[in-house]
Homo-oligomer: A and B are copies of this chain.
Amino acid sequence: MDADPVFKALADPVRRALLDSLRERGGQTLGELCLGHAMSRQAVTKHLNILEAANLVVSERRGRKRLHHLNPVPIQEIADRWIGQFQRAPLRALADLKQALENSDE
């Protein structure tokens, strides 16, 4: 897995809101996902394309509609492989930080 497109996809608040919406209710159409966003349908399409490229969203054509679904796997993988590394050594990092701040008074 290439994590970079996932991180980049998550960097935009509109895209995070779209993921939130699809987590709440899967199978939404493009039109439904546009509601509540003060931007054009085409702008939302672009965001969805970025989310699909990162494999965070999967869509299926259903007649003239396109239904969108969240794929939680990439987020899980980032949590496990990347964030986990930072969680495993947080106490040491915080201790370093605390010591550095204390020593700065000398």
Contact = CB atoms under 8 A, between A and B. Distances in A.
Contacts of A13: 4
A66 B94 CA distance: 18
Interface string A49-77: 00000000010101000010111110110
Looking at chain A's contact residues, is the secondary structure mostly helix, strand, loop, or mixed?
Answer: helix
A35 interface: no
A44 to B, nearest CB: 19
A60 B26 contact: no
B71 A93 contact: yes
A16 B78 CA distance: 12
A9 to B, nearest CB: 9
A85 interface: yes
Contact of A69 (B85, B89, B93): B93
Given A72-B90, A73-B90, 13 more contacts: A23-B86, A23-B93, A26-B97, A58-B101, A60-B100, A60-B104, A69-B93, A69-B100, A70-B96, A72-B89, A73-B94, A75-B83, A75-B87
